[in-house]
Structure formats: structure tokens, C-alpha cells
Chains A and B, each alone.
Chain A
């Protein structure tokens, strides 16, 4: 179970970071060497285009030249920073609020959720940025890993339930719409790749959390983890 949680945590951290911050060359080179999406390709039955884009992209990262890297940075700025209109807005409230604005009651609900689980946003950014919401999932999973270590099944279960609630109440309500918009707005393999991959992954992860919950229940009834 720990392996699975580790993987889930990594995926959420990777995605969260990809949306929230600009690419960092050393990190991308590391991913280029390990190319973790490679081993997913043979198994993934859906979502292949996104995964394939990411595999191809990371394969080329070790030999990336200055122009290609600059293109990636510029694409990040165009999609997430501005100053021109962002082709797809990465905040939940823009999709779900009545006025389609940033900083709305949806933002507050996300902030409250974060606080209940002991975290808050570092910078002065709206809490419901897709990258922050994904990073928050990673945070919940890391708590789960801690619970697992401590053998605290009750807490592990609560954490999984929180992940499920957060997915249902927040990420799954808007990220697919956002990612479709992002996919149509970029030709860059990396951002197109994560935009295609993310919503499918979130859907799958919801099923997966259910599976984990069943396992935890079972262990609980059996009197603990082995």
C-alpha cells in the first residue's frame, strides 16, 4: 500500500508543480532520465495521447537546446502568468462561481478545506489554483503515508475520505472543463500532455481511493496492518 500511496503522492506533486510553477531545468532533466511515464504507456488503456506526449517530451529533455527550453518557459508564461489574457483560467471559482471571477466563496471553501488539514497557501494567490488543489491532494496522501507508518488506520481512512471529498467537491467539478480548454489552447507537448492526462487520472484516482478504502476497512476488521 505504501508504494501505491507514494506513487499517487508523486503524481499529484508532479501535476501540482507543473501547473503552479514554471519548469525547472534540473528537475526536468531528472524526469528525462527516469521518464516515469514510460512504464505507464504499455498499461494505460485510455489517455494514451497525453501519456505518449509526456513520454516523448521527457525522452527529448536530456538533449533539450536553449531555444526549446526557452519555448517551454514562454509557453508557461503564456498559459499561466500573462500579461495577455490567459487562454484557460486555472482557478476553480472562475468555473463554478456565479460571476466567473477569481476570489469567490469557492475560493473560501477550498481555503477552509486546506486549513482543516493544516495547510495554507504560501503566496498571495487564490487558494483554488489547479496546481494548489493538486498539491493539496499530495499533502493529504503524505499524511496517509504517515498514518500508515504509525499504523493509525482510523486516521488513514479519514484521510482517504477527505481525498475523496476534495476530489468530488472540487477538482472533479471543474478540472476537466479547464483541461479541455487548456488542451485546445496549446500545441506544446508538455502542457498538452498534462492537460490530457490530468482529468483522466483524477477520475481513475477516485476509483482507486474506493479500492484503498475497502482495503483499509478489511485490514481494520482483521485487526491492523501486516
Chain B
């Protein structure tokens, strides 16, 4: 009989084949008995058990509180119902839901954690690369071999290139007080040091630019104060999808119920706009400052603002209130009225750039200037643009002009960190290397690190790097490939094994980044380790992420295997300081208790799962400065709000003007490249993912599939129908993605939700819709930040 004969098991139908009969079996056993020794197959996976079975075990279900810990702004409550070491279901916050103490309930992501974290395709065993880097060929190895290889490579690279060649890549898949990234840095620091970075991929521009106005990044009131606002402007802020502090949407809803008018400024009619907005003002990405400038023009020319008051608190509004040594006609007013460049920044001027009708600009300016108090709250999306620093500073200046700084119901704008309570964390330890690179420029530090400078590349701590990056630890993060800009460029850099010589990745899944590991390690999930976490920016609570179950297979906690690596390098004491993971958590609680009387002890906190800090009254940032400036100056060189920053002037860079203003963005709507690539392409944080996490969860794909938004007008011009699979491309790369044709996006702009997993076909065309095949590694002017929303593309029917 040939093996080519068709089987009588019909594949794919589940039809039962004829099988063999009792007679067959009897004959087989007779034939075999005596002739063949059936040996060599003893038991393998099972052993005798000592524990007895509890037949009535339904009572043994324990409900254990944990919470999100993967860089979602909410870290909302998730409760695991655990039976015999298995999470049989999840629930969320079931404490009383009170007006001033709302529940911290999980969203679709938190509720589908089981589906994500117990996915059958989790990484299960340590691996070493056997093919070319990035090819995806691995061979299973033991943990012993993995930790030995890591230790010997750390040593080899330290000896060959110096400690500065070793880098821990930005990674917040474990975003908590014991974070994978901090542990990686700690391991490198214990063994002599590493090249560090500063800033992040979230808010580099705002983070960097805000202090030029206010001298600090703590510019937010607590969100409980939003109920005191009469007008709230959500400028590129979409907390309906990016859970931003556990309760942003709740407090915005409360404000709206309280009578506040809500205006959303966004190229997209976002989910937040759908649920809250009285008015949606769409504009083109990178033109926010044209709108802001035109609003300022209206405020000045219509006398809507209190100029005496502005001049009391600010520097640089008009010619009479400039810092010493600044030439004439450099004030904000001179710029706005066109005295410096002959162009009045009128609503008609603004309309041509940002596409908001002049009449709307006028009305918007009047509303914001005259409705008191008003909160202009900026999200971090607008500043992830080529001119992100201008957007950030522009918001702060509008808040200052309208007298909304330091008052109840106002909002100073800027990054808007609220001075939340200080919860301790396990730090990376002392790093003898002083050099730091801007985080977004790590690929530059791989290819031309030694050529980077302070002035051009934002290097800090040193004038030059001694070496390029030669080794990367990437712990629970997808910025190695997927979330960094210009994937095709990044991939080429990483494929060259002479550049980065050794890459370690620990993760839960085979992400696009994990494919580029030399040593690939199976990590544990939030359910499989104890941790402590706090939410983003505002919202004042801490959560205890209780371990629910043991990690399956050979998945391991990073602290555990890194301790082993440290031991092999002879620096175990330095790495652990004699503490186990649990002892570090106890240390974190003890340190936090010192700073926050009333914070519960370790065991109590663990049992409670969440601790909400008692807030007597909402924090009003800069209240003291506004009520008594003489005794409470702003922490700026002038002691005032700096509309005009002499520090920025001294940089003498036209892309970083001393006053915030509209700057023409490369790959913005005024770039000549638009003739070739006529559409602006932006990203956004999608409700179905936390950055790139959960992309492989099919339930969440049902909630919101990966698709590109396009205005009906642009679709008609290209003959596209809703749902068509289209090709999106520019000089950097191409992807295939279904198109959603909608009036919910401004014409001329397409939007692709960020975080989809890069899935190239054999020609390198991404099949999943990862926006970073289109984005650029060109950093922003001041912060050297990521401008991943600034891209020009063309779209074609596939």
C-alpha cells in the first residue's frame, strides 16, 4: 500500500473513520505477544501523588485581588477566582460605587485578561537563536544555558567594548514598582554600568517643553476639580480609549452633569467626543498652533483678556514685559499681530493652515476666554508630532492668557502631572556611567553613537559616547521593533549582527520584537507574580498585584533569573541587596508608609488589593503663585510664567522659537512632499489594546478590529469602498489594512490605531497594519522625541 493513497479519515470534517475492529486488535495483540518486546516506554509525565482529592471542593475557590500592570493608565481592579492553582474566572471592583469614591472597574481589556494571559501560544521555554537574527529560528535550551550565556556575553561585551556599550531598551510591558526595565538596568548597573536613556515615548515633547513655561511638570489639578469648570477643552485627549488615571471619564462626566460645556479638538471624532462633546473642532495634525495663534489674535484684538493681569504673572506677552537682552518685536503680541513678520495671525490666516473655519476659531476663542473658569486639557497625542514642543507650550500660554492658571476649575495645561502621592519603587541602582541618550534615539546610538553630540542629538552627561550600543536587554517590551519608528530601518539595523552583538528578550509572547532575540526567555504574567502599581498622572490610588497562580511551563520571573545571572557574574549581593522579591515589596510598602501616614502595612495592603489615598480637597496647582506671587515665584528663571523663554531663544534654532508658535512641520500639510504623498497619517491608542499588548486577543479584535479611518471624500477620490483592503505606503514602508470610511475624521488625514503586530509578507509589506512601517526616526527639534503621528502617505486600492 502506498502512503499516497487517500486516508479514509476525512480531514477537516471530524468524520469518524472505519477504524479497526475488535478482531483486528485481538490479532494484533496475538501477533505481537511473544514476538516483540514492548519495552522502553515507561511513564514520563505523571508520578504518584501524595495529596488526596477533595471531592466537594467548590468551597475552595478563593477570590484574590490584582490589577492591571502593563502600562495602561488605569491599573484597574481585576479579581481572580482561583481554584486549585487555576484562575477559573475574573471579576472586577465590587466595592460600593459612591459619587466621590467610584469603583475602579476594569474595561474590556481587563475583563479579557484570561483570554490574553492564558493564550496557548505563550512562550514556554528558553530559546537560543539558530538562524539569522530576526528570521524566527530558535532552539530550546535549558535555563542554565540561558543564564550562563547571558552572563558570559555581558562580561565579553564589557571587556571588549566597555560598560557603555550595554543598553536596557525602553520597555513597560511590566509597568509597576518592580518593573522589568528597572531590573534590567539594575543587573547592568550591578555589573559595572550601562548606557542609560532619558524621557519616554509617551510625552517627550510636553515633558521637555512644559518647564520652559512653568518651571515644572507638576501642572495638573486633581481631576476631582473638573466639576468646578464651566468649560472643558479636551485638546487631543481621549480618555475613553486611553484609560488615563482610573477615573478620567468619570470625572469628566461629572463635570458635564454639572453643566460644563465640553469641546473636543481632535482630527478624529474620538470615542471621548462621541460620549462627551458639545462641540467637535477637527483640525489637521501639526497645525494646532495655527489654531492657537489665531485664537490668541481674537483674544487680543477683541480685548477678551486681562492684559494687566497677564503682565503681572507672565514674561513675554508684550514688548514692555520682555526679558533683558531680547531684540524688539519678539513678544507674543508682536508675533500675533504680525509686527515681527508682517503676517497677522488672524482666524482667516489660521483657517488656511489648520482648516478650522475662521468663524469657529472666533467663537472658540471667545468661549475659552470668557467662560470662567475653563480647563484646557491636553492629551499627549498632539505632542507626538514633528512640532510637538509648540503644541505643548501653546496650551500653557493659552491657559496663562485666559487667567486659568492656579484657580479652581482652571487648568494650567502642559504635561499636567498632578502631585500624586509618592509610592516607592525598586530602582535601577547606581550607574557609574553618566551618559544618557534621548530614548527615541537608541537606534542612532547603535549606528552612530560615537558621533552623537549634546547639541545635535540631545546627549546628556557627556560630550561624546565612547562606543555604540553593542548589547541590548529588552524585558517585556515591544519597542525593539514594533513600537519604535520606521520598522524597516530598525529591522535592517538589528539584522546586522556586527552592530548589536547580543540581544536578550524576555516576554510572554513571540512579539515582532521577540523575533530579534539571540536569547529568548519566557516571562511570567501579571497573574503569576506579586507587584505594586500606581496609575498615570492623576488619580490617587495604589494597587497590590497579587500573584494568583504559578507560572506554567518554564516561564520565570525576571527577578529570579537575573539573580542567577548576577550570581554567575559574582554580583548577586549588589543586585539583590540580600532581598527576595517579596522582601523588596515589603521594603516598598515600608518606604511608602514613611512618606504617607495611613498607608496600610504589607499584609493588609496585600489583602485589600487597592488603597485609595485620602484627599481632603482637590489640589489646585499654582494656587499659591497666583494668590501671592511675590512670596511664591514660579520655578522659572524669571519667577514668572514664561511665555517668552530666553533659554529657548539662546538655543537659536528656528524650530524652537522662544514663544510657542506655528512652525511648519516636515511631513505636515505644508510640506512639498504632499504632492507625492497627499494624506497625513496619524495613529491613536486603541481601546482594544494597551499599546501593543492584547493584539493577539481575538475577543478584543471583535470589539474593535484593526482598520484605518478615512474620510468619505478621500475614499471617493480613490474609488474605495468601506471595508476594502487597501495599501498604505510612503518611502519608508507599506502595509495592507481594511479601510473604514467615515465622516468621523477630517479630510486629508487617515488614522491607523497604533500597536498592531508587524507581520511582513515575503516582500516586507506588513499585513496587519502596524503604523510604524510608515513612521520616521527623525526626532523633534528640542526634546529629540518621537513624532510618530507625523507622516505623509498615499493610499491605494489593493
Residue positions of A touching B, CB distance < 8 A: 3-4, 6-7, 10, 13-14, 16-17, 20-21, 26-27, 30-31, 34, 36, 39-41, 43-50, 52-53, 56, 77, 81-86, 89, 91, 94, 99-105, 107-108, 111-112, 114-116, 118-126, 129, 131-132, 135-136, 138-139, 176-177, 180, 183-184, 189, 196, 199-201, 203-204, 207-208, 211
Contacts and interface: CB of A to CB of B under 8 A. Distances in A.
Contact of A196 (B7, B51, B52, B123): B7
A47 B120 contact: no
Which 6 A-B pairs give the minimum distances between C-beta atoms?
A46-B18, A39-B31, A101-B118, A120-B49, A13-B41, A10-B38
A220 B299 CA distance: 102
A83 B37 contact: no
A55 to B, nearest CB: 9
Nearest to B41: A13
Given A10-B41, A111-B84, A43 B28 contact: yes
B9 A7 contact: no
B16 A203 contact: yes
Interface residues of B, number: 77
Interface in B529-582: 549-554
B24 A101 contact: no
A139 B43 contact: yes
Contacts of B510: 82-85
Contact of A43 (B5, B24, B39, B514): B24
Given A81-B125, A85-B510, A196-B9, A44 B20 contact: yes
Contact of B20 (A45, A104, A138): A45
Interface of A is mostly: helix
A45 B18 CA distance: 7
B21 interface: yes
Among B11, B20, B114, B123, max chain A CB count under 10 A is at B20
B45 A77 contact: no
A87 to B, nearest CB: 10
A129 B38 contact: no
Interface string B1-45: 101011111011110111111111111111111011111111111
A123 B11 contact: no
A106 to B, nearest CB: 10
A121 to B, nearest CB: 6
Given A43-B27, A46-B20, A189-B3, A83 B45 contact: no
A46 to B, nearest CB: 3
B675 interface: no
A7 B87 CA distance: 38
B119 interface: yes
Interface in B67-98: 83-84, 86-88
Contact of B9 (A104, A105, A132, A180): A180
Given A46-B8, A46-B17, A208-B22, A124 B550 contact: yes
16 contacts: A27-B40, A27-B41, A36-B38, A39-B31, A47-B19, A48-B5, A82-B127, A83-B514, A89-B120, A103-B549, A104-B118, A105-B83, A121-B45, A124-B554, A131-B44, A200-B16
Contacts of A201: 19-20
Contact of B138 (A26, A30, A83): A83
Contacts of A183: 9, 11
Nearest to B24: A43
A148 B139 CA distance: 45
Contacts of B19: 45-47, 200-201, 203-204
Given A36-B32, A101-B119, A103-B118, A44 B24 contact: yes
Contacts of B553: 124-125
Given A114-B46, A189-B3, A204 B12 contact: no
Given A43-B28, A119-B47, A211-B22, A180 B12 contact: yes
Given A3-B30, A40-B24, A52 B1 contact: yes
Contact of B3 (A27, A56, A103, A123): A56
A98 to B, nearest CB: 10
Nearest to A200: B19
A86 B715 CA distance: 39
A122 B49 CA distance: 9
A80 to B, nearest CB: 10
Given A49-B8, A119-B49, A122-B47, 16 more contacts: A3-B33, A7-B25, A20-B44, A21-B45, A34-B37, A50-B9, A103-B118, A108-B86, A115-B51, A129-B45, A131-B44, A176-B14, A177-B14, A201-B19, A204-B19, A204-B25
B414 to A, nearest CB: 43
Contacts of A115: 49, 51-53
A180 B20 contact: no
Say what secondary structure dominates the interface of chain B.
Answer: loop
Contacts of B38: 6-7, 10, 36
Nearest to B554: A124
A99 B115 contact: yes
B79 to A, nearest CB: 17
A102 to B, nearest CB: 5
Contacts of A111: 84
A16 B43 CA distance: 9
A150 B40 CA distance: 25
A30 B297 CA distance: 89
A184 B14 CA distance: 12
A13 B43 contact: yes
Contacts of B1: 41, 48, 52
Contacts of B47: 119-122
A147 B81 CA distance: 40
B527 to A, nearest CB: 10
A35 to B, nearest CB: 8
Contacts of A208: 22, 25
B746 interface: no
Interface string B103-130: 0000000000011001111111101000
A103 B115 CA distance: 11
A39 B53 contact: no
B114 A99 contact: yes
B136 interface: yes
Contacts of A99: 114-115, 118
Contact of B45 (A7, A20, A204, A211): A20
A123 B46 CA distance: 8
A34 B118 contact: no
A7 B29 contact: yes
Nearest to A101: B118
A47 B48 contact: no
B503 interface: no
User: Most chain-B CB neighbours within 10 Å: which of A82, A115, A126?
Assistant: A82
B599 to A, nearest CB: 34
B520 interface: yes
Contacts of B120: 86, 89, 91, 94, 100-102
B732 interface: no
Most buried by A among B43, B514, B554: B43
B321 to A, nearest CB: 62
Contact of A7 (B32, B139, B550, B554): B32
Contacts of A122: 44-47
Contacts of B9: 47, 49-50, 180, 183, 196, 199-200
A14 B42 CA distance: 9
Interface centre among B36, B549, B552 (most CB of A within 10 A): B36
Nearest to B115: A99
Nearest to B139: A77
B43 A4 contact: no
Contacts of B37: 34
B46 A119 contact: yes
A40 B36 CA distance: 13
B676 interface: no
A119 B86 contact: no
B663 to A, nearest CB: 45
Contacts of B8: 46-49
A52 B45 contact: no
Nearest to A40: B28
B111 to A, nearest CB: 11
